[in-house]
Amino acid sequence: MPAESDDRSDAPPPTPPPTDLLERLVSLGKQRGFFFPSSEIYGGINALYDYGPLGTRLRRNIRNRWWRSIVELRDDIVGIETSIIMNPQVWVASGHVAGFSDPLVDCAGDCRRRWRADHLPAERAARGKEPDAPGCPECGGTLTAPRQFNLMFRTFLGAVEDSSAQVYLRPETAQGMFVDFKSVLNSSRQRIPFGIAQNGKSFRNEISPGNSIFRTREFEMMELEFFCEPGTDDHWFEHWRAERFRWYLEELGVRRPFLRLRDHEKDELAHYAKAATDVEYLYPFGWGELEGIANRTDFDLSAHQRASGVDLSYLDPMTGSSFLPYVIEPSVGVDRIMLTVLIDAFDEEVVRGERRVVLRLHPDVAPVQVAVLPLSKKEELTVPARGLEHRLRPHFATDYDETQSIGRRYRRQDEIGTPYCVTIDFESLEDQQVTVRDRDSTEQTRLPIEDLVPRLLGRFDI
Ligand code: ATP
């Protein structure tokens, strides 16, 4: 697995995407079924989203790609699935009950909005104001003093709603992997260094969610806890820092100038972290965290060992020595990756005098990979076109469309990022050939039907 990648570039920073891009994506997302507000017929609910047919496919492809590179293509990482609700002692020991909070301030002026104190400068800047100006970013009103607000959602387990039955919805998937460390170790024949990975829903009662699906209150995380011997942790931190950066460039096709690694300053590090780096993307609202990579040391295992009384140390069978492993953690949200690839792929251009919106999605994550379009609605063409679509279906995510003009159908497929359109025309009935149109170049190639599957497969890594 290549771990080196060029993460430091001397190239000048790119122009950020236009500020209205997010709005346009939200509208495209709703119109084409990528994502829309949850419970919309009841007016929606703040910072919770549903994913439509195309969004669901895109998310699944992103998740599968992560799982494949982290778990399936490696023999030193295993995947697990842990419960969303855990024994509440887990969250006491991990420090979340006492400390998983953000500083909250309220506007006492006209707008009465609630803000995260550490987000105030960015919120002011986003509204064209001086970042360090006093007062509310929205209305300039007086702000209250910051107070800590715990982000964990609470509920009750069982029929009695008292404090002894109180439990939490997990705010991250990581703790499930720490508390299962021994069970996985004992059942999987893994030896240090090795990793445990999982993906699943997490919940945070964010004070200031926003920027569409960038910060929501229910989201899906993909996390890896990589356990290694103390002393080798710096090496593994560097490995994962480089590898995760490479993944975005090569496996999702994110444009290099819009991606950077930002190392945390000492005073910015979480109390449990020895080092941390964010993979950042240049969003329409500025550089923002896409993924976090942290050296969590033995903080979590030692906290759970102390609180549970269970020995979580690792006995090295070769040397006979026993130690608590250090942990390197790359952690990211599926929703945030989805927003990032949509922003990164969005393009508008004029081709032969006609304006088109095109999502230049990486072919391997595109929700539709091959669309079959008969040139006419006559049965003579629609019957073989449907037959062809069925032949392609086991290999690719396909779509079939016979409505409206071929030009409009191409535009529709461009807008959802379909890399290839296959057109059947009357000549196809004679020469058994079809036309394959490339989304990015709009170039058209004539191919024998028999060659279609192998030729297209050669362009994907699926
Ligand atoms: P912040 O300080 O921005 O609130 P954080 O640094 O505490 O977030 P982490 O705990 O490092 O966030 O989260 C790891 C990853 O999970 C993030 O990089 C992001 O991809 C994703 N993530 C975290 N919170 C949210 C959220 N509210 N909505 C969507 N994705 C999220």
Please tell me whether residue 448 adopts helix, strand or coil conformation. strand
Is the CB of residue 289 below 6 angstroms from any atom belonging to ligand 1? yes
Q: Indicate if 249 and 322 belong to the same structural domain.
A: yes
Nearest CA residue ID for atom 1, ligand 1: 289
50 pairs with which residues across the strands? 36
Q: Indicate if 319 and 212 belong to the same structural domain.
A: yes
Asked if the bond preceding 146 is cis, omega within 30° of 0, the reply is no
Can you tell me the mean pLDDT for 238-263? 97
Can you tell me the mean pLDDT for 33-58? 96
Can you tell me the mean pLDDT for 190-211? 95
Cα of 352 vs centre of ligand 1, distance in Å, is: 43
> How many Cβ atoms are within 10 Å of 155's Cβ, its own excluded?
11
- Strand boundaries in 246-306, DSSP class E: 259-263, 275-283, 286-297
User: What sign results for the dihedral spanned by CA atoms 157, 51, 119, 287?
Assistant: positive
Is the CB of residue 204 below 6 angstroms from any atom belonging to ligand 1? yes
The best mutation among 203, 331, 335, 340 to test binding of ligand 1, ranked by most ligand atoms within 8 Å of the C-beta, falls on 331
So what's the pLDDT on residue 263? 97
Nearest CA residue ID for atom 5, ligand 1: 292
Residue 433: give its domain's CATH number. 3.40.50.800
> Which string of b and e fits 295-319 if b means at least 16 CB within 10 Å?
bbbbbbbebbbeeeeeebebeeeee
Give residue 351's pLDDT band: very low, low, confident or very high (50, 70, 90). Answer: confident
So what's the pLDDT on residue 48? 96
Cα of 55 vs centre of ligand 1, distance in Å, is: 20
Is the CB of residue 329 below 6 angstroms from any atom belonging to ligand 1? no
Is the CB of residue 55 below 6 angstroms from any atom belonging to ligand 1? no
Nearest CA residue ID for atom 25, ligand 1: 215
Pairing label, strands 77-79, 35-37 = unpaired
Please tell me whether residue 372 adopts helix, strand or coil conformation. strand
Can you tell me the mean pLDDT for 412-433? 97
With vertex at residue 369, the alpha carbon angle to CA 368 and CA 373, rounded to the nearest 5 degrees, is: 80
Mutual angle of helices 449-457 and 379-392, in 10-degree steps: 40
Q: What is the pLDDT of residues 177-197, one digit of tens each?
A: 999 999 999 999 899 999 999
264's tokens: 């945390």
Ligand 1 atom, smallest distance to 209 CA: 27
Q: Indicate if 239 and 175 belong to the same structural domain.
A: yes
Please tell me whether residue 340 adopts helix, strand or coil conformation. helix
Is the CB of residue 206 below 6 angstroms from any atom belonging to ligand 1? yes
Task: Measure the CA–CA gap between 72 and 67, rounded to whole angstroms.
Answer: 7
Can you tell me the mean pLDDT for 381-387? 97
Helical H segments across 296-405, by residue range: 299-308, 334-345, 379-392
Q: Indicate if 284 and 404 belong to the same structural domain.
A: no
What are the respective helix, strand and coil percentages of the chain, to the nearest 5?
35, 30, 35
Nearest CA residue ID for atom 30, ligand 1: 333
- Return the closest-CA partner of residue 415 out of 341, 359, 364: 359
Q: Indicate if 281 and 381 belong to the same structural domain.
A: no
So what's the pLDDT on residue 7? 52
Give residue 271's pLDDT band: very low, low, confident or very high (50, 70, 90). Answer: confident
Question: Domain limits at 420?
Answer: 368-457
Q: What are phi and psi of 401, to 5 degrees?
A: -145, 125
Taking a C-beta distance cutoff of 8 angstroms, is the pair 363, 65 a contact? no
Is the CB of residue 301 below 6 angstroms from any atom belonging to ligand 1? no
So what's the pLDDT on residue 10? 61
> How many Cβ atoms are within 10 Å of 403's Cβ, its own excluded?
9
Q: Indicate if 337 and 420 belong to the same structural domain.
A: no
* Total domains present in the chain: 2
Q: Say what percent of the chain tops pLDDT 90.
A: 87
Q: What are phi and psi of 29, to 5 degrees?
A: -60, -40
Q: Indicate if 215 and 320 belong to the same structural domain.
A: yes
Residue 299 covered by a domain? yes
Distances (CA, A) of 240 to 178, 221, 243, 270, 272: 19, 17, 5, 18, 18
Q: Indicate if 83 and 171 belong to the same structural domain.
A: yes
Is the CB of residue 340 below 6 angstroms from any atom belonging to ligand 1? no
DSSP letter for 266, please.
Answer: G
Nearest CA residue ID for atom 15, ligand 1: 332
Quick one: 261 exposed, middle or buried, by C-beta within 10 A (0-12, 13-18, 19+)?
Answer: middle
Q: Indicate if 372 and 336 belong to the same structural domain.
A: no
Task: Measure the CA–CA gap between 349 and 347, rounded to whole angstroms.
Answer: 7
Q: Indicate if 261 and 178 belong to the same structural domain.
A: yes
Q: Indicate if 327 and 392 belong to the same structural domain.
A: no
Helical H segments across 216-333, by residue range: 233-246, 299-308
For the chain, the average pLDDT equals 94
Can you tell me the mean pLDDT for 325-348? 97
pTM here is: 0.93
So what's the pLDDT on residue 9? 54
User: Residue 336's Cα: distance from chain center in Å?
Assistant: 4
78's tokens: 């295993």
Q: Indicate if 190 and 303 belong to the same structural domain.
A: yes
The best mutation among 289, 293, 300, 339 to test binding of ligand 1, ranked by most ligand atoms within 8 Å of the C-beta, falls on 289
Q: What is the pLDDT of residues 10-26, one digit of tens each?
A: 667 788 888 899 999 99
Ligand 1 atom, smallest distance to 116 CA: 4
Taking a C-beta distance cutoff of 8 angstroms, is the pair 237, 275 a contact? yes
Is the CB of residue 65 below 6 angstroms from any atom belonging to ligand 1? no
> How many Cβ atoms are within 10 Å of 349's Cβ, its own excluded?
11
Is the CB of residue 333 below 6 angstroms from any atom belonging to ligand 1? yes
The best mutation among 115, 175, 212, 219 to test binding of ligand 1, ranked by most ligand atoms within 8 Å of the C-beta, falls on 219
Residue 149 covered by a domain? no
Cα of 90 vs centre of ligand 1, distance in Å, is: 20
For the chain, counts of helices (H) and of strands (E):
14, 23
Task: Measure the CA–CA gap between 128 and 217, rounded to whole angstroms.
Answer: 27
Is the CB of residue 138 below 6 angstroms from any atom belonging to ligand 1? no
Residue 59: give its domain's CATH number. 3.30.930.10
Q: What is the pLDDT of residues 161-171, one digit of tens each?
A: 888 899 999 99
Is the CB of residue 229 below 6 angstroms from any atom belonging to ligand 1? no
Can you tell me the mean pLDDT for 365-371? 98
Task: Measure the CA–CA gap between 41 and 84, rounded to whole angstroms.
Answer: 28
